[in-house]
Structure 1
């Protein structure tokens, strides 16, 4: 069930990442597309506006040439230029009509000035063509005023066009900022979801490790009971029968010596089985709490005479689960054996304390020490420290290791 949950959690993490990537990519594509459309639209507006001015200016030049040269055919070119100018104005109006929703305020003013420009061009064309039909040979003041009005209106139109483009760009920037804000919010939500999913995944992993430890503990207990009830009982029977035979064959010294040897071997085997059983399932923890068990472990090490061990539990109170007590007891035993066998230490201290809801086990010896950086190298952990770290992390705890050549070894274990 837990492996399935892990699989589904990983699927959810991937789905969240894909969903965020999709939104981010879609937002970037949308922004790029809108920006390209607006840029192309602005280029067309500027281009058509310049063409309007050029065509009106060309019409004015051709009109002057027609008047000077008294060429009536010049009016055909004049009409053509003004018709082109009006065509460009109509194209500008089409673009403005498509962008009413984008910049409604500026668009209204822009269309108004564009309409005035178109009216001015039509009026100017009408005056010129009217002068041609009536065979007027010179520009009168009415035409001059009409052309000056066109220049004034077109200048105002250009200012309006610039404002229109600026407001359009400003609105585009706002859209981009809003889009970036939305992407940022989606990113935060995605990170929050991923953090929760990862936390769920870590909890599931810890649960798997915790369940594994529980299963291991139950299996150790079962094996210990099987050894005690099975092999232990057989070895006890062998020792008992060998002693009975010793009494019956008391006159046969040769057979008696062999039976004594069998008795010694059975006792040694029974003692070895007892040690194995104790390692599999420390029976001391069934009779004593963790503090008393560690005190007896330290007393046992002191009785060996090769190393002095001090134990301090003055700052510890409360109880722990049996699995955690077993883990701490085994870790303490392994650390003491490491100090004795590998570190050549003659003094060690164990301190068990509790700070609020945290249990802390501090261990220090004055042994030869080693390079902590080399502990992570493959095949270099001869003292089983990596195994200790993994077991502590499996219950949500953490370890801090300190050591250097000649400065002993220190480890601090902390968990809830």
Structure 2
């Protein structure tokens, strides 16, 4: 009887110890998974907050760019178009003056015709900058060709453009973003980079459409983050995000600039 009781007590003790062990292990696992899940959730929240912050930065850059563009257009309209139309109005009023000679009437009329033609030409340029007609009518390839011709017409830069892909003209929003990216890059190459040559190549890399851009300008240190925080680069990065692309920029002093982006 004594040995049987001792044996039973040992069995009970083993069961109790085993149960306690599994309970402790279960508690440990619960605590471990709780804190692991909490950490994962925290990481997801941080990632989401970072994405929201990035989106806000992009939106801010776009808004600033739009405001700058509006100011530029308003300035062009005020300084150029409005001033010319004011002179046209004054000349038109002069035509109502009595006793004007034939020569005076001809001079005033010629002034009105000349100023009106200039105002019309400048208004077309402003409209062209907002949305190039050739881009809207004939697509991105034709739009880029015209853009290259416009830059070459300045006689200060030579542009080499090569296209190895087909652009879908149905995706006009994407095409406009790509056009504006190139326009921004080319303006920077000419104004800041003092480049005399620009190369643009569109290609297809395993189903991914790419663009390689290069100039021979004075360049800058692309490893310095401050050099890539200008309004122009913010605008480019925002547009790259809108077309679900990626971008890589590299440059060295006196080595020009190279830009590779996908879309």
Q: TM-score range by the shorter chain?
A: 0.5 to 0.7
Aligned to 1:400: 248
Alpha-carbon distance in structure 1 between the residues aligned to 2:173 and 2:165: 21
Does structure 2 retain, via aligned residues, the 8 Å contact 1:317–1:354? no
Alpha-carbon distance in structure 1 between the residues aligned to 2:225 and 2:9: 76
The secondary structure found in structure 2 opposite 1:402 is strand
Mapped pair 1:179 → 2:30: yes
- For the structure 1 residues 171 and 266, does the alpha-carbon distance in structure 2 shift closer, same or farther, using more than 3 Å as the test? same
Does structure 2 retain, via aligned residues, the 8 Å contact 1:401–1:410? yes
Aligned to 2:131: 281
TM-score by length of 1: 0.45
- For the structure 1 residues 186 and 388, does the alpha-carbon distance in structure 2 shift closer, same or farther, using more than 3 Å as the test? closer
Does structure 1 retain, via aligned residues, the 8 Å contact 2:165–2:202? yes
Mapped pair 1:411 → 2:259: yes
The answer to which structure has the higher helix fraction is 1
Mapped pair 1:170 → 2:18: no
Q: Map 1:356-371 onto structure 2 (within 5 A).
A: 358-371=208-221
- In the alignment, which of 227, 235, 240 is matched to residue 387 of structure 1? 235
Aligned to 1:322: 172
The secondary structure found in structure 1 opposite 2:255 is coil
Mapped pair 1:251 → 2:100: no
Alpha-carbon distance in structure 1 between the residues aligned to 2:262 and 2:186: 18
- For the structure 1 residues 365 and 115, does the alpha-carbon distance in structure 2 shift closer, same or farther, using more than 3 Å as the test? same
The secondary structure found in structure 2 opposite 1:372 is coil
Q: Map 1:28-107 onto structure 2 (within 5 A).
A: none
Alpha-carbon distance in structure 1 between the residues aligned to 2:175 and 2:122: 24
- In the alignment, which of 188, 192, 197 is matched to residue 342 of structure 1? 192
TM-superposed CA distance for 1:365, in Å, is: 0.6
Aligned to 1:297: 147
Structure 1 unaligned spans of 5+: 1-111, 117-152
Alpha-carbon distance in structure 2 between the residues aligned to 1:377 and 1:300: 27
Number of equivalenced pairs: 238
Alpha-carbon distance in structure 2 between the residues aligned to 1:160 and 1:271: 102
TM-superposed CA distance for 1:342, in Å, is: 1.1
Does structure 1 retain, via aligned residues, the 8 Å contact 2:245–2:261? yes
Does structure 2 retain, via aligned residues, the 8 Å contact 1:316–1:352? no
TM-superposed CA distance for 1:338, in Å, is: 1.4
| Structure with higher RCO (Cα < 8 A, 6+ apart) | 2
Does structure 2 retain, via aligned residues, the 8 Å contact 1:399–1:414? yes
Does structure 2 retain, via aligned residues, the 8 Å contact 1:368–1:407? yes
TM-superposed CA distance for 1:160, in Å, is: 6.3
Does structure 2 retain, via aligned residues, the 8 Å contact 1:317–1:353? no
Alpha-carbon distance in structure 2 between the residues aligned to 1:377 and 1:411: 14
TM-superposed CA distance for 1:388, in Å, is: 1.2
Alpha-carbon distance in structure 2 between the residues aligned to 1:363 and 1:392: 14
Does structure 1 retain, via aligned residues, the 8 Å contact 2:141–2:167? no
The secondary structure found in structure 2 opposite 1:411 is strand
TM-superposed CA distance for 1:249, in Å, is: 5.0
